[in-house]
Amino acid sequence: MLYGGRLGTSLHELGFITEERLSEALTRAYGVPAADPDAFNPEAITLVPHKLVTRFKVIPWKLRGQTLFLGMVDPGDHEAVARVGYSLGYIVRPLVVPEFRMVRMLREHFGIDDRWRFTDTHGDEAPPAPPPRKKDPDEAAAAIETATTRDEVVAAVLSLGLCYFKRVVFFIVREPWLIGWDGAGEKMDRARAAALRIPLDLPSVFQGVTRNRTVFVGRPGSEETNLKFLAAIGKKPGTTAALLPVAVRGRMVNLIWGDSGARGAGRADLGQLMAHMQKIPRAYLRIIRTRVAEAKKEAVSPTGNGKNSSKKRDG
């Protein structure tokens, strides 16, 4: 939910709920069985063409006679069920799979890039926040505290960063990758930031900050990963920059890169910025709690999302 994933994924990743409890909740919400990881048959993955798996984000779980049990994040996607069944001639029985497990399995068995999960799955999500602009630091920090969506948090963080740097890049941590999400300032925008993808299993300043959860201010080293990143954003090697971590409940979720342009040196007086950044994890947790409360309210409301609703659940 924080980065386009579903609410259940965020709750699991932040340690609020176990996979077993999440699967039980999804089973009740959709009225279909949860996929049992121990019953998964790797031989079944060849039954569904790669193009269908890529399009619908499903995974063949097991085959019993002419019945194909299909793992799905959204078992209510009748088009996916019909298309797979029609194409293969099987009777398709949906099984609900938590989104985070689907991400791993699609990557492992089909080589599908996990960026698909970062596209918002909520039809009622607020429209994207306007492009970030430089604000007074206190004003930008206040916008973090009042944000009601992920995009509003990101826009406020970028505005805050622009008070200290000429260029800011907002990353999300998805081991083993650091994925660019948004950016602002000199020669940087959302499209350019989204093209950035940095491996965290190779030596770099990004790996160090992620592993140690410490702020970096200085000159990135000569490691190949650092040099590739600097070239991608058009920054001269040997100049200084800052890299700031964001953790929620002990889990690294973001890195914020800031620099003073292609040749400029990064600012060292970052105490106020770091203090304001403490508002980011609090904003995330507040948004999650609000979504949980809304989901509970909808679950008990006669007009809410019952099993027959076509609205997507937060699995």
3-class secondary structure for 176-217?
CEEEEEEEEECCCCHHHHHCCEEECCCCCHHHHHHHHCCCEE
Q: What is residue 82's predicted lDDT score, i.e. its pLDDT?
A: 85
Between 157 and 135, the higher pLDDT residue: 157
Question: pLDDT value at position 86?
Answer: 75
Q: Are 206 and 236 in contact (CB under 8 A)?
A: no
Reported as a single tens digit per residue, the pLDDT across 153-198 is 999 999 999 999 999 999 988 778 898 989 999 999 999 998 999 9
- Give the model's pLDDT for residue 3: 43
The residues, any chain, with a CB within 8 Å of residue 289's CB and separated by 6 or more, are none
> Closest by alpha carbon to 244, among 228, 260, 256?
256
Q: 2 or 315, which is more confident?
A: 315
How does pLDDT run across 261-308, given as a tens digit for each residue? 877 665 657 899 999 999 999 998 888 778 767 656 665 555 544 444
Total-model pTM = 0.65
Topology annotation, domain 137-277: Beta-Lactamase (3.30.450)
Higher pLDDT, 301 or 145: 145
Place of tokens 């990353």: 171
pLDDT value of residue 21: 73
For CATH 3.30.300.160, list the domain ranges present in the chain: 7-121
pLDDT at 16: 58
11 residue type, one letter: L
CATH 3.30.450.40 region(s) of the chain?
A: 137-277
- Structure tokens belonging to residue 262: 């292609």
Whose structure tokens read 């994040």? 73
Q: What's the average model confidence in pLDDT over 136-162?
A: 93
Place of tokens 């809304």: 294
Section 230-256 average pLDDT? 93
Q: Under 8 Å CB-to-CB from 184, ≥6 apart: which residues? A: 131, 132, 158, 159, 161, 162, 167, 168
Give exposure, 215-243, as e/b (b: 16+ Cβ within 10 Å): ebeeebeebebbeebbeebebeeebbbbb
The tens digit of pLDDT for each residue in 200-240 reads: 999 999 999 999 999 999 999 999 999 999 999 999 999 99
Higher-confidence position of 88 and 157 = 157
- Predicted pLDDT at 132: 65
- Who has greater pLDDT, 112 or 46? 46
Q: What sign for the dihedral angle of Cα 219, 222, 226, 228?
A: positive
Say yes or no to pLDDT of 313 above 60. Answer: no
Mean pLDDT of 85-92: 83
pLDDT at 288: 76
Measure the CA dihedral 189/234/199/97, to 10°: 10
pLDDT digits (tens, 9 = 90+) for 12-32: 455 555 667 777 877 888 888
The burial class, CB within 10 Å (0-12 / 13-18 / 19+), for 293 is: exposed
Supply φ then ψ for residue 179, to 5 degrees.
-115, 125
Could you tell me the two tokens for 200? Answer: 């965290």
Q: CA-to-CA distance for 172 and 197, rounded, in angstroms? A: 10
How far, in Å, CA of 13 to CA of 250, rounded? 11
pLDDT grade, residue 311 (50/70/90)? very low
pLDDT band at residue 144 under the 50/70/90 scheme: very high
| Side-chain half-sphere CA neighbours of 87 within 13 A | 13
Residue length of the chain = 315
**C-alpha to C-alpha distance for 233 and 269, rounded to whole angstroms:** 23
| Amino acid residing at 184 | A
* Domain with residues 7-121, CATH architecture: 2-Layer Sandwich (3.30)
124, pLDDT greater than 70: no
